[in-house]
Amino acid sequence: MPYRFTFDLSKLSRFFFEEVARVSYKKGIHKKIGKTAQAMIRKFKIQEATGLSVSDAVTLLQDFIDLNAKNITQKERFNRVKKKALFLPHCSRKYMDSHCRSTFDPTVPSYICAACSEDCLINRATSIAKKKGYDVYVVPGGSCIPKILRSKGYEGALGVACGEEAKLSGELLENMGVACQAVPLIKNGCANTVFEIETLSKTL
């Protein structure tokens, strides 16, 4: 968990995420991103909803906007490549290790979803991605991704992660020549993390 703070944006209105996407399309936004983030914090009452300090809320929003902007610049190339993988965070498994029936394969390394809970984000995401021709990996951390990419020869990778980790992984994938997209967690932490399944489905 790279952030030094925890957050939960899962109860914010859909308009918040639409605004993040809209802002990400603007050219030259990097010059005004601090003011834009602060205006969005006030507009959507993010401090009241999350309890984050202004600086933490600005950091989070800047990462969301940067991630969306990066997705936009990479999207055309990502759509062109054929062999793609989806990387999901193991901390989004419903019930995690207490009731989750997934198995861990240390040789990959990845959890293998057993589809044991219909409302589990990992199960839903795995099902959608496989129908679209993706190989799916449920990884315990971002450090597993380069090993998988090198061993399997993927041309494209879509990762679900917190904004900070997505940024670091994006730089690594660029250096490896892998086209990438990212979907941010909207609730972080070490367990029961949340991402938007609709956003993932559109990005795949």
> What phi and psi values does residue 151 have, to the nearest 5 degrees?
-75, -25
| Residue 126: C-alpha distances to residues 46, 100, 114, 120 (Å) | 31, 15, 10, 10
Q: pLDDT (tens digit, 9 = 90+) per residue, 49-84?
A: 888 898 898 888 888 888 888 899 999 999 999 999
User: What is the pLDDT at residue 29?
Assistant: 53
pLDDT at position 65 is 86
What tokens appear for 39 in the block? Answer: 């205006």
The DSSP secondary-structure symbol of 26 reads S
DSSP string, 128-148: HHHHTT-EEEEESSTTHHHHH
Tell me the C-alpha distance between 66 and 91, whole Å.
Answer: 23
Residues (pLDDT < 50) of the chain are none
Query: 């490549």: which residue's tokens?
Result: 81
pTM summary value: 0.89
Residues 6+ away with beta carbon under 8 Å from 52: 5, 7, 46, 60
- What ranges in 26-176 are assigned the alpha helix state H? 33-43, 46-50, 54-80, 96-99, 121-131, 144-152, 163-176
What is the C-alpha end-to-end distance of the chain, expressed in Å? Answer: 24
Domain ranges within the chain, ordered by starting residue: 14-203
